[in-house]
Amino acid sequence: MPYHEFECSKCIPERKKHAVVKGPGETLADALPLGYLNTIPGTISERGCAYCGAKHVIGTPMKDVIHMSHGPVGCTYDTWQTKRYISDNDNFQLKYTYATDMKEKHIVFGAEKLLKQNIIEAFKAFPNIKRMTLYQTCASALIGDDINAIADEVMEELPDVDIFVCNSPGFGGPSQSGGHHKINIAWINQKVGNVEPKITSDYVINYVGEYNIQGDQEVMVDYFKRMGIQVLSTFTGNGSYDDLRAMHRAHLNVLECARSAEYICNELRQRYGTPRLDIDGFGFEPLSASLRKVAMFFGIEERAEAIIAEETARWKPELDWYKERLKGKRVCLWPGGSKLWHWAHVIHAEMGVDVVSVYTKFGHQGDMEKGIARCEEGALAIDDPNELEGLEAMYNLKPDVIFTGKRPGEVAKKIRVPYLNAHAYHNGPYKGFEGWVRFARDIYNAIYSPIHKLAYLDISKDEIATDKGFETRQ
């Protein structure tokens, strides 16, 4: 499997081993792109930082919590702008964002007083909310503010509140993935085991590594409920702080995104003996297999079969309608982490598209290994690409659509490549049987939308767009 050298990155020799082309009959052992390394200075990586991974990916989907960043106000920006992890409490966690707003003078004189004042002010402003997560940022970590001590002080003064402290400043890992790890471990160390839940079923799970993007969690929890399973907590989409303190009482951890949340599952297994079962909510076959696996664990197979039969009968004809029209379309599958392997094979098998490239911004080599194993021969696999590499790949591969985030997505639009939001989705949820059809519909609309014709229209000329292309106005 030859490494692929980008023309635009010839001047950055460190990039040489970060991309490969999947050759015919080659084994993954021949060459895997390097991965999960420190970002190379000068490549203008599009990764997030370890604070972002901890707070914006895993912390803030928790719904009944004030999420406070101790740092400059800009660090909270993502909360409002780019995330779509909705919740059934009127999206409290998405509506507000909190920062201590550190300035230069705090760097000189310290910001612990400022932090305490902010915490108390936030609890006063929202008297119904008694839980808080507190995040270290680069600025407050560098000056050595002791946020644990302040949290303890406040909890002593206000006995009805509970505060979780996350020490994952931006520089604390090669990418957001380092932050995932830190918050997983911090949560189990500080909070799990502190609350005793009410058990209402013989079958009790934690649903882990699921962030309720546009309602994914609600779709999946509905299946579990129909099977008679109690979902004790969701780590963390639409999840409740106190439910997540009771994770130790589940019989099984059902793990969706292994990239971001396998750490807590592994710890729960070690400390409490709870088994981990990896599942996949994307795609009819993987989802059916997942429901079967969960059911098999509890010996309730017939309940899973009933749901699979009902949902497949309802949604499969629609999926096939889209598959017919998407066959052979060329796709670049360019998400952040685990979606390259969650999606690569199943979109080919169930929607007929060909995956001509996979990339991951912060995945580990194991993620890349799975992604490459599941995409088409000849596909280009890239670790932590920069904008110019992405552009070069699109010019060479000429995809019909790319699945990626909104920043690279805007770049794609500029060269008239349709893009679909792989992170926050367009019209999600994408999980579940219905969700998978929604995904297919979004792909179909992205590729066939007449808007692309208009995008090519040069309004300085006297042209109109028609079904057959462009014609001169009469």
The residue ranges that bind ligand CFM (CB under 6 A) are: 57, 176, 211, 213, 257, 259-260, 335-339, 423
| Shortest reach from residue 334's CB to ligand CFM, in Å | 10
Give the C-alpha separation, 109 to 121, whole Å: 21
Instruction: Could you list the beta-strand ranges (E) of 137-240.
Output: 162-166, 204-210, 230-236
Give the C-alpha separation, 56 to 76, whole Å: 8
User: Nearer to ligand CFM by C-beta: 72 or 179?
Assistant: 179
Q: Is beta strand 131-136 parallel, antiparallel or unpaired with respect to 252-255?
A: unpaired
Could you tell me the two tokens for 359?
């990339």
User: Nearer to ligand CFM by C-beta: 213 or 440?
Assistant: 213
Give the C-alpha separation, 379 to 313, whole Å: 34
Give the C-alpha separation, 295 to 241, whole Å: 27
Burial of 143 (0-12, 13-18, 19+ CB in 10 A): middle
| Shortest reach from residue 385's CB to ligand CFM, in Å | 14
User: Nearer to ligand CFM by C-beta: 114 or 412?
Assistant: 412
Give the C-alpha separation, 281 to 433, whole Å: 9
User: Nearer to ligand CFM by C-beta: 303 or 405?
Assistant: 405
Give the C-alpha separation, 31 to 16, whole Å: 12
Burial of 176 (0-12, 13-18, 19+ CB in 10 A): buried
| Shortest reach from residue 172's CB to ligand CFM, in Å | 15
| Shortest reach from residue 318's CB to ligand CFM, in Å | 24
User: Nearer to ligand CFM by C-beta: 70 or 259?
Assistant: 259
User: Nearer to ligand CFM by C-beta: 71 or 281?
Assistant: 281
Give the C-alpha separation, 238 to 63, whole Å: 6
| Shortest reach from residue 10's CB to ligand CFM, in Å | 28
* Residues whose CB is less than 8 angstroms from the CB of residue 95 and which lie 6 or more positions away in sequence, other chains included: none
| Shortest reach from residue 338's CB to ligand CFM, in Å | 4
| Shortest reach from residue 54's CB to ligand CFM, in Å | 10
The answer to whether the beta carbons of residues 244 and 236 sit under 8 Å apart is yes
User: Nearer to ligand CFM by C-beta: 100 or 206?
Assistant: 206
| Shortest reach from residue 228's CB to ligand CFM, in Å | 27
Residue nearest to ligand CFM (CB): 336
| Shortest reach from residue 7's CB to ligand CFM, in Å | 27
User: Nearer to ligand CFM by C-beta: 164 or 282?
Assistant: 282
The answer to whether the beta carbons of residues 84 and 60 sit under 8 Å apart is no
Alpha helix ranges (H) inside 237-338: 241-244, 258-272, 284-298, 301-326
- Minimal CA–CA distance to 371: which of 348, 345, 401, 397? 345
User: Nearer to ligand CFM by C-beta: 100 or 421?
Assistant: 421
